[in-house]
Amino acid sequence: MIGIVLTGSGKTLVFVLPLIMVALQEELMMPIVPGEGPFGLIICPSRELARQTYEVVEQFLIPMREYGFPELRLLLCIGGVDMRSQLEIVKKGVHIVVATPGRLKDMLAKKKMSLDNCRYLTLDEADRLVDLGFEDDIREVFDHFKAQRQTLLFSATMPTKIQNFARSALVKPVTVNVGRAGAANLDVIQEVEYVKQEAKIVYLLECLQKTPPPVLIFCENKADVDDIHEYLLLKGVEAVAIHGGKDQEEREYAISSFKAGKKDVLVATDVASKGLDFPDIQHVINYNMPAEIEDYVHRIGRTGRCGKTGIATTFFHKTLDTLSNMKNHQSTAMGRELWS
């Protein structure tokens, strides 16, 4: 199945709840034995999204245990974490695995985990998986399946490269559209502002005053993230930063403190644009215009989630193809526009 859904629509439950039911049914019919499993696998493009998905699954498993249902063991299989602790769970037998491609591929190659009995596979944020170069890794994972499986592929955008991947990876998939592929969330008011390059960082402070916190700022590269983060701290703004160059502990602290409301601003590269759920964000600022319209849709989709409204402000200072694409697609890929 291919699921094309708007950002912030709550799609995680669409694949998590059936997966829990599949795992529970398997456990009731034939209890899992040590070293067996998983029955279901969810692959995410980033550690942060994998951890968030893991926490969603855990929210359902905890009360199920309290009400006397059989225990379903869950594994978070990501890099940046000691593999030994993950292997301990695998040895006991695991029902559901939430993984990033790198660590999953490593464990399968070393025969630390088997997908022989796995019947349910979800590829979340598939466009991001392909963008990050994980397509070959995922195909290698496919080779480890022995039983017939159901594969679900979810994406907010459906560019040509994702369509080609889906055609080659899935067999006669059913496509379910919730909204239109590549469409921006209609609950987001979008503003595009011309700002000279040398004035951007100063104007950023003014822009932060438009709404109460929390605010999410997106940058194109790690250097910009670090520079803006340092500038905001000097100005007394409670800010944290996240990008691929941060270690796992720093990344987890940034996400958790921002979600908990301990920090007002998160400065990030696109590592935070795909799938991460920050339900209370009222304002997203694109410090740099992204090169691809799909990235723009994902970024602004961090606000206006689950029926709430939000604002997305994008700075630009030169002619960009992305801006032209936004205007050309305003009837389908844009919400309410304010071209400043």
33-69 in b/e burial notation, b at 16+ Cβ within 10 A?
A: eeebbbbbbbbbbbbbbbbbbbebbeeebeeeeeeee
Degrees, nearest 5: CA angle 76-278-184: 110
Which is nearest to 287 in space by CA: 317, 258, 326? 317
Q: What's the pLDDT tens digit per position in 77-100? A: 999 888 999 999 999 999 999 999
Convert the pLDDT of each residue in 194-215 to its tens digit. Answer: 998 889 999 999 999 888 999 9
Nearest in space to 44 (alpha carbons), one of 7, 98, 8, 82: 98
Across 61-70, 113-122, 176-185, 283-292, least confident range: 176-185
In tens, the pLDDT along 41-57 reads 999 998 989 999 999 99
Q: Which residue has the tokens 């055609």?
A: 167
Among 23-27, 79-83, 301-305, the minimum mean pLDDT is found in 301-305
> Coil, helix or strand for 2?
strand
Domains in the chain, please, with CATH? Answer: 2-177 (3.40.50.300), 188-328 (3.40.50.300)
Distances (CA, A) of 101 to 40, 66, 250: 15, 32, 21
Q: What is the pTM of this model?
A: 0.74
Which residues on adjacent β-strands are paired with residue 314?
A: 192, 286
CB-based contact 161:129 (threshold 8 Å):
no
pLDDT at 134: 93
